[in-house]
Homo-oligomer: A and B are copies of this chain.
Amino acid sequence: MKDNNDMPGHLARRFQQIAVAVFLAEVGEAGFDLTPVQYAALATIKANPGLDQVTLAGLIAYDRTTITGVIDRLVQKGLIERRASSRDRRARELEITDEGRRALRKITPAVESAQRIMLRGLSAKEGEELMRLLRKAIAAGNELSRAPLRE
Contacts and interface: CB of A to CB of B under 8 A. Distances in A.
B19 A149 contact: no
B136 A121 contact: yes
Interface in A81-133: 111, 114-115, 117-122, 126-127, 129-131, 133
Tier of interface size on chain A? 35 or more
A4 interface: yes
B130 A8 contact: yes
A76 interface: no
A118 B138 CA distance: 8
A22 B23 CA distance: 26
Given A4-B43, A4-B44, A36-B9, A118 B133 contact: no
A131 B21 contact: no
Nearest to A133: B130
Given A60-B4, A136-B122, A141-B120, A115 B9 contact: yes
Interface of A: 1, 4-23, 25, 36, 40, 43-44, 47, 59-61, 111, 114-115, 117-122, 126-127, 129-131, 133-142, 144-147, 149
